[in-house]
Structure 1
Amino acid sequence: MAKLDWITEELKELKEKGLYVTIRKLESAQGPWVVVDGKKVLNMCSNNYLGLAAHPKIKEAAIRAILDYGVGAGAVRTIAGTMELHVELEEKLAKFKKREAAILFQSGYNANLGAISALIKKNEDAVFVSEELNHASIIDGMRLSGAPKVIYKHLDMEDLKKRLEEVKDKKKKLIVTDGVFSMDGDLAPLPEIAELAEQYDAMVYVDDAHGEGVLGEHGRGIVDHFKLHDRIDFEMGTLSKAFGVIGGYVAGPEEAIDYLRQRGRPFLFSSAVNPPDVAAAIAAVEILQKSDELVQKLWDNTRFLQNSLRELGYDLGNTKHPITPVMLYDEKRAQEFSRILYEEYNIFAQAIVYPTVPKGTARIRLEPSAAHSKEDLQYAIDAFEEIGKKMKFI
């Protein structure tokens, strides 16, 4: 047996179980309709919630930045990579989030790795208290830290209280949770989490990747949605979803953010975000500061799509967000549903299967955007009705 034959066997098994993911190739800008592998398709699975990825003002800002600052940052932030653009973006993000300060990372994933591993360390009298369904980047941040963790059940505040009681004598405790859970669209009960954190003297860190640009006033996120600015210690946000660009950041108390500049490993050891991306992100923040029109359009489209699918008889779980999980449960049938959407209806909507979600919870995750028209969404609804009846899902 050749030394890499095991890879062939692994791939074969993935295909047989319906767990092999077909990776589509986009040949156009992100938008409601895109060109994939040579054909125009309705894009229903992008995180480009507000349609900003190809917004004229954002493209213009990136082009201007290339002309003024070049393409690359050239160094890590702590040596020669901090440009005035980086500082401007951090200041605008802090103001947007109504926080004292913000630190910019290369991605949301890197933001979680850097911040979480710096806030709790292995050899301290400290512990993570982590939500059961937290994103992989949170899990990897805790792994990088090496500190112990306890896990509480999804959205279960009684269980969170039990876990906090177990670790109440620890000097440092950090409750870590997604704000919006990306596969289901349900929301963390932040008011109850904040109350328990205060009761047990714990810090709270919220990953708001999918709340950014979607929830709260002008899309300020889940902390703003619940009006908890003075009760949540750290907010992680990403610039790659609703903001349409790339990058991530953590916002919070000024002194704590300064500490992350000294100890956040991706900030210290990876080159800074490139100037055109930073300028584009600044433009995105300015658009949202000025108007919440796109946020309102996103929610109008969300209600239209979700109400229509529920009327057809589809199970959308407990979503309270534009994330729309059409629950099909069976991995192979979900992959087949996605294939038919793509090949017969020109609708791009990927099946979500294990290990992204637990086995037996396969789904088609739809994501409407502010850029979709009602006609776009109705076309998708009609397709789901036809395919659902043929495959006996409805």
Structure 2
Amino acid sequence: MESIARQSAKLCPFVHSVTTSVHSVKSLGQANLPAMAKQCPFMGRAMRTANYATSASPATANSTRSSLREDESAFVDHATAESAFDYDGLFEHELQKKRVDKSYRFFNNINRLAKEFPLAHRQLEDDKVTVWCSNDYLALSKNQEVVDVMKKTLDKYGAGAGGTRNIAGHNKHALKLEAEIAALHKKEGALVFSSCFVANDAVISLLGQKIKDLVIFSDELNHASMITGIKHASTTKHIFKHNDLSHLEELLAMYPRSQPKLIAFESVYSMSGSVADIEKICDLADKYGALTFLDEVHAVGLYGPHGAGVAEHCNFEAHRKSGIASPQERTVMDRVDMITGTLGKSFGTVGGYVAGSLRLIDWLRSYAPGFIFTTCLPPSVMAGAAEAIRYQRSHLDLRQAQQRHTSYVKDGLADLGIPVIPNPSHIVPVLIGNPDLARQASDILMDKHRIYVQAINFPTVARGTERLRITPTPGHTNDLSDILLDAVDDVFNTLQLPRVKDWQNQGGLLGIGQPDFVPEPNLWTSDQLSYKNDDLHPNVKEPIIDQLEVSSGIKY
């Protein structure tokens, strides 16, 4: 009590004056504090207002409580005297802002038909449309071998995993899937998450929280999951201009080489189709002592001889000749410290993952809350994802067909003067430049032409760059593409949307109508597109891949 009194004397002017003029600090601890408190200009007023009850004696306390029951108006009951906060009003106000700026999202009812790909039905089963904007890039969600494996696993092991891997244990499906992912990216280990959003957030945030003084360098067009991870990392960050390696190097050079750094970037940026120069970013990482974090979400399954992504594509011939084995030369994929990807796009199921060194994966497995406290994916999903990875690895023709159909659509749109944001990848972003018109264009395609292409508005893309995002697959043959081209041409005529020449007259935008713009060549060369499945190394067909020790924990 004496120590509390001493602290009070230091902090409170009234107590200080009392202890110096009337009592010593020691005697203050033994004094009648409620009586003294009434003399305080602040506490006295508060006690009189609330009819403050003291615990000086049981009798006094009982008497006070009785008087309070007789005169309850002495209390100000904030639970009833004030109106509750208008939560619904806040929600409506925020939604109204999105309606006004035309960024309000409306989801179409699209039910993709496994037996009639790329057809889907809307609310009614006879109301069918052709889907042109799915991220199921290789249509493996409908692949019969993948579906059969999932059915068998579902019948034998049930619908769910039973909980987190820490509580329920994991199973052979998780072990097999992580081994397949590690083999795909030729890394020592891999870890599966419930989604790649969770994986990106978990990995980046943990790096920031655990590595003292880490500085993160992030491409300005990085996905929301990476941005979220960087926010949760709670460390210094710098955002470099999109694919501008000169700007990146300027930022890196601000720090000593000994300070920990992380460069976070994507291979294929999904809304523009632009592609990072992974090799040069690795050069900068080596020069300035940085780790590299590469998101291959929109590239796995589509690039490289085995579908490992753009990092594999950088050394296409070396990987093609070695198959699932690592080439003798050090490759770009070797140089990337950690690669994240998804099972929900080209691999046709759901989930995310990170692949990297044995120590990195063991560290993430041991510390990342996004892994530890999340229920494991269902056995059937993991079995299907593993089968999808195995299947596409030996089917080079799937990637080639997707590329050919993309080129056909891009060439056809160019002939019509339809503005497509130029890029070297499989993404076909048709520039509209207005959120309301982008929504109307999507509606006309759906209602008049029975074609589903979703409008992409802010905040997914910057205001004034709204677009339609078209993604051909191996099933979008030339006859379907011709129907799409006629429909898009009709939409541009109906809404009087600006074509390439109109953007050129305005000075150009995003590489469209800019006279000094030099487009990049397609990532896939004519030689790469000429290979057959049999030109792949035989070891990709039915490889036996060893279980990863790190998936269960490394025993010492």
Which TM bucket (shorter chain)?
over 0.9
RCO higher in structure (CA 8 A, sep ≥6): 1
* Residue matched to 1:263: 367
Q: Which moved more, 1:76-85 or 1:280-289?
A: 76-85
Q: In the alignment, does 2:123 pair up with 1:37?
A: yes
Amino acid at match of 2:103: L
Q: CA RMSD in A?
A: 1.6
Q: Which has the higher strand share?
A: 1
The answer on whether the counterparts of 1:186 and 1:319 sit within 8 Å (CA) in structure 2 is: yes
SS in 1 for 2:476: coil
How far does the alpha carbon of each residue in 1:355-384 deviate from its partner, in whole angstroms, 9 at most, with x for none? 111111100011111122221111111101
How far does the alpha carbon of each residue in 1:104-142 deviate from its partner, in whole angstroms, 9 at most, with x for none? 111111111111122232671211111111000001111
* Residue matched to 2:186: 98
* Residue matched to 1:251: 355
Amino acid at match of 2:247: D
Give the alignment of 1:20-169 within 5 angstroms: 20-29=104-113, 31-38=117-124, 39-121=127-209, 124-169=212-257
C-alpha displacement of 1:88? 0.6
Amino acid at match of 1:36: R
* Residue matched to 2:94: 10
Q: Which runs of 5+ in 2 are unaligned?
A: 1-84, 316-331, 500-556
The answer on whether the counterparts of 1:51 and 1:369 sit within 8 Å (CA) in structure 2 is: yes
CA distance in 2: counterparts of 1:146 and 1:153, whole angstroms: 21
* Residue matched to 2:6: none
Amino acid at match of 1:225: H
The answer on whether the counterparts of 1:354 and 1:362 sit within 8 Å (CA) in structure 2 is: yes
CA distance in 1: counterparts of 2:112 and 2:410, whole angstroms: 27
* Residue matched to 1:379: 483
* Residue matched to 1:186: 274
C-alpha displacement of 1:170? 5.5
* Residue matched to 2:310: 222
The answer on whether the counterparts of 1:81 and 1:271 sit within 8 Å (CA) in structure 2 is: no
Q: 1:172 to 1:50 in 2, by over 3 A?
A: same
How far does the alpha carbon of each residue in 1:13-55 deviate from its partner, in whole angstroms, 9 at most, with x for none? 3223321221011234363111123220110111010011111
The answer on whether the counterparts of 2:257 and 2:289 sit within 8 Å (CA) in structure 1 is: no
CA distance in 2: counterparts of 1:360 and 1:128, whole angstroms: 29
TM-score by length of 1: 0.96
Q: In the alignment, does 2:448 pair up with 1:344?
A: yes
CA distance in 2: counterparts of 1:73 and 1:159, whole angstroms: 46
SS in 1 for 2:269: coil
C-alpha displacement of 1:215? 1.3
Q: Percent identity?
A: 32
The answer on whether the counterparts of 1:126 and 1:148 sit within 8 Å (CA) in structure 2 is: yes
Q: Which moved more, 1:303-312 or 1:235-244?
A: 303-312
The answer on whether the counterparts of 2:184 and 2:306 sit within 8 Å (CA) in structure 1 is: no
C-alpha displacement of 1:285? 0.9
Q: Which moved more, 1:71-80 or 1:231-240?
A: 71-80
* Residue matched to 1:207: 295
Amino acid at match of 2:219: E
TM-score by length of 2: 0.69
CA distance in 2: counterparts of 1:307 and 1:136, whole angstroms: 31
Amino acid at match of 1:378: D
The answer on whether the counterparts of 1:90 and 1:101 sit within 8 Å (CA) in structure 2 is: yes
CA distance in 2: counterparts of 1:97 and 1:105, whole angstroms: 17
Q: In the alignment, does 2:343 pair up with 1:239?
A: yes
* Residue matched to 1:197: 285
How far does the alpha carbon of each residue in 1:149-169 deviate from its partner, in whole angstroms, 9 at most, with x for none? 111110101000011011335
C-alpha displacement of 1:287? 0.5
SS in 2 for 1:224: helix
Amino acid at match of 1:231: R
* Residue matched to 2:473: 369
Q: Which moved more, 1:114-123 or 1:79-88?
A: 114-123
Q: Which runs of 5+ in 1 are unaligned?
A: none
C-alpha displacement of 1:234? 0.6
How far does the alpha carbon of each residue in 1:60-96 deviate from its partner, in whole angstroms, 9 at most, with x for none? 1111111222111112122323111101111111111
Q: Which moved more, 1:264-273 or 1:30-39?
A: 30-39
Question: Larger C-alpha radius of gyration, 1 or 2?
Answer: 2
C-alpha displacement of 1:317? 1.5
* Residue matched to 1:317: 421
Q: Which moved more, 1:147-156 or 1:68-77?
A: 68-77
CA distance in 2: counterparts of 1:190 and 1:2, whole angstroms: 50
How far does the alpha carbon of each residue in 1:302-341 deviate from its partner, in whole angstroms, 9 at most, with x for none? 1101111122112221322221110011111111111111
Q: 1:150 to 1:310 in 2, by over 3 A?
A: same
The answer on whether the counterparts of 1:123 and 1:147 sit within 8 Å (CA) in structure 2 is: no
Q: In the alignment, does 2:274 pair up with 1:274?
A: no
CA distance in 1: counterparts of 2:430 and 2:123, whole angstroms: 25
